[in-house]
Amino acid sequence: MSEKPTTKGTSGTDEEIEGPNTTRRTFLKGSSAAAGIAALGMEGTKPANANDTDETDDENDGDDGPTNVVLFIGDGQGRAQLDLGRYLKAYREDSETFPLNVADATYNLDRHDAHGSATTFPDDPEEFVADSASTATAIATGHKTYNGAIGGVENDAGEFVPKRTVLEEARDMGYAVGLVTTARMTHATPASFASHVPDRDEEEEIAKQYVRDGGVDVLFGGARSYFLPDGRETDDADLVAEAKRNGYRYLTTESELESLDSAPALGLFSESDHLNYTLDRQDGDDTTQPGLGAMAEKAIDLLEARGGRKGFFLMVEAGRIDHAGHANYPVVAHEQLEADDVVGRLLDYAEDSHGETSVITTADHETGGLSLGSGGPYDVNFDVLDGLEASTDALVPLVEEAESREEVSSIMQEEAGIDLLDTELDELRAYNTPVAEILNHRIRLGWTSTGHTAENVPTFATGPNAEFFDGTVDNTDIAGAIRERLNGN
Amino acid sequence: MSEKPTTKGTSGTDEEIEGPNTTRRTFLKGSSAAAGIAALGMEGTKPANANDTDETDDENDGDDGPTNVVLFIGDGQGRAQLDLGRYLKAYREDSETFPLNVADATYNLDRHDAHGSATTFPDDPEEFVADSASTATAIATGHKTYNGAIGGVENDAGEFVPKRTVLEEARDMGYAVGLVTTARMTHATPASFASHVPDRDEEEEIAKQYVRDGGVDVLFGGARSYFLPDGRETDDADLVAEAKRNGYRYLTTESELESLDSAPALGLFSESDHLNYTLDRQDGDDTTQPGLGAMAEKAIDLLEARGGRKGFFLMVEAGRIDHAGHANYPVVAHEQLEADDVVGRLLDYAEDSHGETSVITTADHETGGLSLGSGGPYDVNFDVLDGLEASTDALVPLVEEAESREEVSSIMQEEAGIDLLDTELDELRAYNTPVAEILNHRIRLGWTSTGHTAENVPTFATGPNAEFFDGTVDNTDIAGAIRERLNGN
């Protein structure tokens, strides 16, 4: 494939979308390979009567209660990002005994029952390193695809072929379904679960498919401009009005989220881009943006009610780990901590819920080539990292608008907690304002890229048959595992 | 601790070495935390009569056969190194379908039953990033310590306090014991299992302790100079002669290794430094250096015979993954593949052996901050990586001695498989000979450091109670797990 396909496939209508891939790859895991395959349904660990429900039933019978599947995706959440969050959390809990206290600090990602990793590479002759569209499509549909593809693959004729997603299957089986993200609602990761376009940049088409074809009960994310006439370039459709006519509640602020009591609901909490980084969301001027945890918990409340005895499927994305990685921003750690907080809430729900709730936690790829420690010295300065009060996004304009060295010095003291050296002040007064470079050097975070990298990503699971994820799996296997759970296996 | 302790402790005599740490940290793993603890002995999965053997018995009784524990340490084997090996192996197996064939390529590290990670940080107020001495000591003794410490910790008075190692305990319980490495025999990782010095640089003292106090049945590694009068600076002890008087077979070449048929044995296969990188070992002038796999298999043969019905403990280190990382050399991939080959042989043995063999595979830390992909572009060029015929160690002298641009061009074509650009030729003719930089750029490997980084390291296990390693553990827990197995639990 020398260029991305330009033939736009017919998308969004279920009857034209191919069914799930029937061949699923499993990695050799010694004596546990057979157990891993068995874990995915051939030998369930559920009570015997659970297997009475076949996939054509609209609701579970018996006393099992609903089946819920929550998929958490940390976009760009590589293994170093995950470790950075673990150690920052331990540092915050007790800086005196840190790092020896790390085993006592509760890092929620460590709470899962199963711990392994997943591949990320696309099916793309041009590129070995994945983008978020190909990986989210692999996870959502079970099909490897080319970078840029949303919810489909390219056939031998160069045409885009939509593929059914686990969300669409769940919806058609009677489950309530939802998508929650801190990125734009139309960004690649959520889009790959409920839309089908050959190019991830077709975000206005993605918005249209959500509203006209999606049937998604809960949509919470950023960037309402893609849904409104004034923001759209391809047409002047008012997708918010259409959604309301279809029965959707529409909301744009944290307080509206708090009082929301029924689905379907479309919550778009920023004007035209992603939600702010969590540090700025908490402290910035715009306090209308909810946290990812609040969005996820509200989504569960609504989906639980709407799914009834059948249950629900929910995808939650921590979308801005990735963006901090692209920019090589130290606030990647704070985004990771928000992700960990959300995972904790999901696991709490799984422990407390009636019925059976599976939580699968993964990432689409690593972003930035992050390392803890860089340049040679054997230290990482968590005190500096913990002293940050604002993201580099928020700091750069302040530094650029400062009218004196003293003012720059004061801003960096107040917002980043560091006393700048004269040489650093010289650098900051130069035109390219290398705030992130100075912070990375002080903290000793290393980065190799402003793009993604190709390492496997950490993958976890809790709930029935979670043990399948103890080991290395292909990211397409995640779709298979979700399908098995949705089918009651 | 503002400086490393200078008070040298009394070391090497068992009665003065403190016993094992009785508190072992375990990470919260949700509902599997209790299972993890139970897995370490309180609820064994062995046949009931296996528990008849208590730790004071010199040999197992009944039909269980011997208990063997093999610990494999990839020095510097971080998660990116591991993934790089996996994908290079898949590329070599079928470059046409790569990377979609990766699930079919047999990567031995994926064969383990349990998959998790381990912490690496030292107990060192000056440094958060670990060195190989503190980590190997943590793994060998169960005690966190300061960077540089070999087999001991520092007490409140600033004195070095030796700690008992799992190898010493195994030896005293009647197990046969061995240490195998591609690094210098006296390097930090093997040293931490059978010697006790406050500073890893005391390699002549380490050699003396091996020979005079160690009782290690098999010692295979590099750098015989530390054992011979001409090579020693602190004294003129002939430790090779002493070892021979103590009954050791002494050997220095691969052919001698092949014909070796009994332990104790001291094999030192290089003059004064580590063994060569595997690419150079296979193809260089010095063909006397064995592969790590041959050393490990011979060690198992000898220890199996010597351990009899009791069994054996063996530590095998792939020591040069770390050195390639420090130098930012792409041959880190080839060292990783040698490591994977050895792990495959160890797992084969565990599957075939009589009795019960545990294989625990881990790393001490990551080295270099490696990433697959760098600088932004979304690709990794495995064809270039696979084309390497020599390490950068071997290439640099050739390039430096070349007398013309044409000669440099020819060397790089033959030994590295790449046609240099004119700009690259200009760079290579400059004084600092950036061979590694050019190769990293061509392959798109990223590095953040010439030192270590602080991420957790991948940890695996196969054998009884392996499931303890499904999750995040402290590196000191590895000593605890080994002790449980040695005690028959």
Chain A contacts of B364, Cβ < 8 Å?
Answer: none
In the predicted model, what is the mean pLDDT of residues A239-248? Answer: 98
- To the nearest 10 degrees (0 to 180), the angle between helices A475-486 and A166-173 is 0
In the predicted model, what is the mean pLDDT of residues A245-256? Answer: 96
* Angstrom distances, CA of residue B310 to CA of A81, B56, B65, B352: 44, 12, 8, 17
Model pLDDT for residues B63-96, shown as the tens digit of each residue: 568 999 999 999 999 999 999 999 999 999 999 9
CB A164 within 8 A of CB A193: no
Spell out the alpha helix ranges (H) of B94-210. 132-141, 166-173, 188-194, 203-209
Q: Which of A106, A448, A455 sits opposite B28 (nearest CB)?
A: A106
* Angstrom distances, CA of residue A255 to CA of A2, A184, A265, A269: 48, 20, 14, 11
Q: Which of B99, B129, B371 sits opposite A128 (nearest CB)?
A: B99
Chain B contacts of A96, Cβ < 8 Å?
Answer: none
Q: Which of A83, A111, A452 sits opposite B29 (nearest CB)?
A: A111
Tell whether omega for the bond before A66 is within 30 degrees of 0, i.e. cis: no
How close A232 gets to chain B, by Cα (Å)?
30
DSSP states of B176-239 as a string?
Answer: EEEEEEEEETTSHHHHHHH--BSSTT-HHHHHHHIIIII--SEEEEE-GGGGSGGG-SS----H
- Considering only residues A107 and A489, tell me which one the structure prediction assigns the higher pLDDT: A107
Residue of A4, A83, A450 to mutate when probing chain B, most B C-beta within 10 A: A83
Cα(B338)–Cα(B333) distance, integer angstroms: 9
* Angstrom distances, CA of residue A392 to CA of A270, A278, A331, A446, B311: 19, 12, 8, 16, 58
User: What pLDDT shows up at residue B44?
Assistant: 29
Structure tokens at A201: 């940049």
B453: nearest CA partner in chain A: A373
Structure tokens at A7: 């033939």
User: What pLDDT shows up at residue A188?
Assistant: 98
The three-state (H, E, C) secondary structure of chain A, written as one string = CCCCCCCCCCCCCHHHCECCCCCCCECCCHHHHHHHHHHHHHCCCCCHHHHHCCCCCCCCCCCCCCEEEEEEEEEECCHHHHHHHHHHHHHHHCCCCCCCCCCCCCCHHHHCCEEEEECCCCCCCCCCCCCHHHHHHHHHHCCCCCCCCECEEECCCCCEEEECCHHHHHHHHCCEEEEEEEEECCCHHHHHHHCCECCCCCHHHHHHHHHHHHCCCEEEEECHHHHCHHHCCCCCCCHHHHHHHCCCEEECCHHHHHHCCCCCEEEECCCCCCCCCHHHHHHCCCCCCCCHHHHHHHHHHHHHHHHCCCCEEEEEEECHHHHHHHCCCCCHHHHHHHHHHHHHHHHHHHHHCCCEEEEEEEEEEEECCCEECCCCCCCCCHHHHHCCCCCHHHHHHHHHHCCCHHHHHHHHHHHHCCCCCHHHHHHHHCCCCCHHHHHHHHHCEECCCCCEECCCEEEEEECCCHHHHCCEECHHHHHHHHHHHHCCC
CA-based max dimension of chain A = 73
- Taking an 8 Å cut-off on Cβ atoms, the answer to whether B448 and A377 are in contact is no
Cα(B62)–Cα(B352) distance, integer angstroms: 19
Cα(A120)–Cα(A135) distance, integer angstroms: 6
User: What pLDDT shows up at residue B354?
Assistant: 75
In the predicted model, what is the mean pLDDT of residues A376-391? Answer: 94
Cα(B22)–Cα(B344) distance, integer angstroms: 33
Which residue(s) pair with A357 in the sheet?
A: A68
- To the nearest 10 degrees (0 to 180), the angle between helices B435-443 and B392-401 is 120
User: What pLDDT shows up at residue B287?
Assistant: 63
Model pLDDT for residues A141-169, shown as the tens digit of each residue: 999 999 999 999 999 999 999 999 999 99
Model pLDDT for residues A100-127, shown as the tens digit of each residue: 999 888 899 999 999 999 999 999 989 9
Model pLDDT for residues A303-350, shown as the tens digit of each residue: 999 999 999 999 999 999 999 999 999 999 999 999 999 999 999 999
- Taking an 8 Å cut-off on Cβ atoms, the answer to whether A110 and B471 are in contact is yes
Chain B contacts of A446, Cβ < 8 Å?
Answer: 369, 448-449, 453
Coil, strand, or helix at residue B420? coil
CB A421 within 8 A of CB A45: no
Q: Which of B83, B99, B347 sits opposite A30 (nearest CB)?
A: B347
Of B317, B315, B434, the residue nearest B365 (C-alpha) = B317
CB B249 within 8 A of CB B264: yes
B25: nearest CA partner in chain A: A103
Q: Which of B128, B374, B470 sits opposite A369 (nearest CB)?
A: B374
- Considering only residues B104 and A130, tell me which one the structure prediction assigns the higher pLDDT: A130
Residue of A101, A349, A358, A453 to mutate when probing chain B, most B C-beta within 10 A: A453
Which residue(s) pair with B161 in the sheet?
A: B153
User: What pLDDT shows up at residue A52?
Assistant: 38
- Taking an 8 Å cut-off on Cβ atoms, the answer to whether B106 and A28 are in contact is yes
Q: How far apart are the first and last CA of chain A?
A: 38
B95: nearest CA partner in chain A: A125
Chain A contacts of B99, Cβ < 8 Å?
Answer: 119, 121, 128
- Taking an 8 Å cut-off on Cβ atoms, the answer to whether B110 and A31 are in contact is no
The percentage of chain A sitting over the pLDDT mark of 70, rounded to a whole number, equals 85
User: What pLDDT shows up at residue B64?
Assistant: 67
Please provide the average confidence, as pLDDT, over all residues in chain A: 87
DSSP states of B327-344 as a string?
Answer: TT-TTHHHHHHHHHHHHH
CB A194 within 8 A of CB A214: yes
CB B147 within 8 A of CB B153: no
Measured torsion, CA atoms of residues A345, A350, A353, A355, in degrees rounded to the nearest 10:
160
Structure tokens at A460: 């976890």
Coil, strand, or helix at residue B452? strand
Write out residues in chain B with pLDDT < 70, as ranges: 1-64, 282-287, 431-432
Model pLDDT for residues A189-234, shown as the tens digit of each residue: 999 999 999 999 999 999 999 999 989 999 999 999 999 999 999 9
| For residue A63, pLDDT beyond 70 | no
Q: Which of A64-68, A130-134, A304-308, B142-146 has the lowest mean pLDDT?
A: A64-68
- Other CB atoms within a 10 A radius of the CB of residue B201 amount to 15
